[in-house]
Amino acid sequence: MRRVAGGGTALDPEVIAQRLVITERAVAKHTASIFLRLGLQPSDDDNRRVLAVVTYLSRSNTAP
């Protein structure tokens, strides 16, 4: 809970990478790609994970 409250993820990326037999770098590259598709540029001021969810939800609510 502390990790999520601090802007982290509910799942530990290292554990995901180990269980799926993919590297942490591959996970980071994939999530960066998703952020860019949503128009979320890297920033020290914003939490892109939260912004990605908000952006996704707002776009999916306006889709026909």
- Boundaries of domain holding 50: 2-62
CB 9 within 8 A of CB 53: no
pLDDT band at 2 (very low <50, low <70, confident <90, very high): confident
Query: Of 35, 36, 41, which Cα lies nearest the Cα of 53?
Result: 35
Q: What is the pLDDT of residues 27-64, one digit of tens each?
A: 889 988 988 888 888 877 778 888 888 888 888 876 55
DSSP state of 6: T
| pLDDT in the model for residue 17 | 61
Count of structural domains within the chain:
1
* pLDDT value of position 8: 72
